[in-house]
Amino acid sequence: MTIEAPRRGRPPTGSASARDALLTEQVLMYRAKRQKLEGALIPVAEVQSGWRQICTATRAAMLALPTRLAARLPHLNAADLKTIEDEIRQALEQLAEGGR
């Protein structure tokens, strides 16, 4: 029985499935590196930060609605504006809880 010496730059020979798994993993890594270099991949922290900013701006705009409506619709009384504010806050709370 002959034992094949590992070739330079290549992993030692083993089972075909282990080699296939290694090659698949290497292809995935190289593909991800290439996509990152091409700008197709964005770091998770960057995406999270962007969505945080969008959500914060949306929340601020929604909470400003009662004041804006009071200026544009002078016939609304304090009870009407309070009802609008309560509904907006309730909707925002439901969204914060996962849309329930």
Q: Which tens digits make up the pLDDT trace of 55-78?
A: 999 999 999 999 999 999 999 999
Confidence of residue 100 (pLDDT cuts 50, 70, 90): low
Per-residue pLDDT at 1? 47
Concatenated DSSP letters of 49-83: HHHHHHHHHHHHHHHTHHHHHHHH-TT--HHHHHH
User: Residue for token digits 């544009």?
Assistant: 72
Q: Are 22 and 13 in contact (CB under 8 A)?
A: no
